[in-house]
Structure 1
Amino acid sequence: MSADLFEYYGVDGVEDTRLRRSPHGRLEFLRTQELLRRHLGAGHTRERGAEPGPRRILDVGGATGIHAAWLAADGHRVHVVDLVPAHVAAAARLPGVTASVGDAVALAAPDASADVVLLFGPLYHLGAATDRARALAEAVRVLRPGGLLAAAGISRYLSLLENGTNGGLTETAEPPIRQVIETGDYDGQAGFVDAHFHTAGELRAEVEAAGLRDVTVYGVEGPAWPALDVAGLDAFDALSGGALRCARLAERDPLLINASAHFLAVAHVGR
């Protein structure tokens, strides 16, 4: 783990509030719940073939357990793996959640021991394609036959849309934003750590290359998220219903999917 990554997550604790403190973070949280529950067989919008019932979920890079908490409340058995000891300690205090320190590229879990593996952070924190491939291979190894992978990516267009909407797209900001659009290499210029940002097609290709089947990539927030941020938290309740509908309508649209701030790739291990 790089010193920068530990400083960002392990010292100032921003991950604990990332999905609560901004309108687009709240939208991301709601949509991630919606999409994952759809594939876990919960609710009237479940995907065809989704299996209802409790699952053994390995939440890799699960941080303080913001997703583990609601998954455990839904009845699933959730184990969080994270590089940051403070995150692991916080997650382990959650009802129905266990946690341990670990690395996405070398998981301690046995082969075929999980029904579901979540990679909601590792694929953008692993800058090298070979390391992302290792993390995906580890996820495949620990999943049972027919098991479900859900992997998140950050859109290459996040910085463009965010800064183009909030007034931050200055002459100075333009070159690094152009770089991340063209290459996916994000240099931390807006306060985040160095990372890899995906296109929807690139994320799909990486998941398919790991040998997974039935790969579907969703745009999580849809194209309305920058407007929510400009409107502010006080307007979230009034505007979020329309933004959620917008996200659903555009979630697989090839012309709009990259306007989401994040992607969620969902796939299965062959039986």
Structure 2
Amino acid sequence: MDLVRHYTTHAEGDRLTRTPHGRLEFLRTQELLRRVLTTPARVLDVGGATGAHAEWLARDGHAVHVVDIVPAHVDAAAELPGVTAHIGDARALPAEDDSVDAVLLFGPLYHLLTPADRAQSLTEARRVLRPGGLLAASAISRYLSLLETAANGTLDAALAPPIDAVITSGHYDGHIGFTATHWHTADELRTELESATFENVEVYGIEGPSWPALDTAGDAGFAARIDAALRCARLVEQDPLLINTSAHLLALAHT
């Protein structure tokens, strides 16, 4: 399988720490989840990789089970204190109906390339959630590569067509690294969740519009800029004119 092969040769464990904007994404995802996970919960972390979020959720007192398609990810997650893990597919979850309080889909909605597969993963998430349970689903913004390459100076004539294509269609072809994926707009993400009959869907820009500046400043400038970047992200996290300038989107919804 292409996805397993990709993550076997590309390290995932440090994705949220190796770049300034990755660290911003991590801090903001924690912040947004902690707003809604206020009491101990049974959490199914689908596509949870090596457990970057499972680890802190377990420390916060939640019972976290990671489901991932990559065996090496599952092995790493299972070593974390308070975390269990299982090999599985977002389209056929190894969990009983109405058995968990929260489902995280941090990865499946961009790795599943067809609308039918994404819809199936959402149907499965809804199946295993208890009535009133929480879904937290992340997506990659269609504008990520435009903003990244414009900020770092690599946006040239050759990159313009594939960047235009992903903005128009959502199909990302790997033009700045990573594997082929589907990238969303905030409206598309909201529509997919509502079509799966989730209620009270709220979509947030995770990093806000300043994340490319963090990467441009580099590690040396991170400490001086992170507080301003976090304030910026909070101020416009649901602004319809700026939400898609985040590198990632987070949808929160309930059954």
Query: Structures share a fold, TM > 0.5?
Result: yes
Question: Aligned partners of 2:214, 2:16: CA distance in 1, in Å?
Answer: 14
Alignment partner of 1:242 out of 207, 228, 249: 228
Distance 1:145 1:223 in 2: 35
Which portions of structure 1, spanning 4 or more consecutive aligned residues, are displaced by more than 2 angstroms? Answer: none
Question: Equivalent residues in 2 for 1:66-215 (5 A)?
Answer: 66-215=52-201
Q: Structure 1: which 5+ residue stretches go unaligned?
A: 42-52
Is it true that 1:24 corresponds to 2:21 in the alignment? yes
Q: Secondary structure at the match of 1:150?
A: strand
Cα deviation code 1:107-164 (max 9, x no counterpart): 1100000000000000000010000000000000000000000000000000000001
In the alignment, residue 23 of structure 1 is paired with which amino acid? P
Aligned counterpart for 1:40 among listed residues 37, 40, 48 = 37
Residue 211 (structure 1) shift: 0.3
Secondary structure of 1:169's match? Answer: coil
Equivalent residue letter for 2:222: F
Q: Residues of 1 paired with 2:241 and 2:224: CA distance?
A: 27
Distance apart, 1:11 and its partner CA:
2.6
User: 2:76 is paired with a residue of what secondary structure?
Assistant: helix
Q: Tell me the percent identity.
A: 65
CA shift at 1:8, angstroms?
A: 2.2
**Residue of structure 1 in register with 2:45 after alignment:** 59
**Distance between the aligned counterparts of 1:6 and 1:99, measured in 2?**
16
Give me the CA root mean square deviation: 0.6
Letter in 1 for 2:170: G
For residue 145 of structure 1, give the secondary structure of its aligned residue in structure 2: strand
CA distance in 1, matches of 2:170, 2:179: 13
TM-score computed with the length of structure 2 as normaliser: 0.99
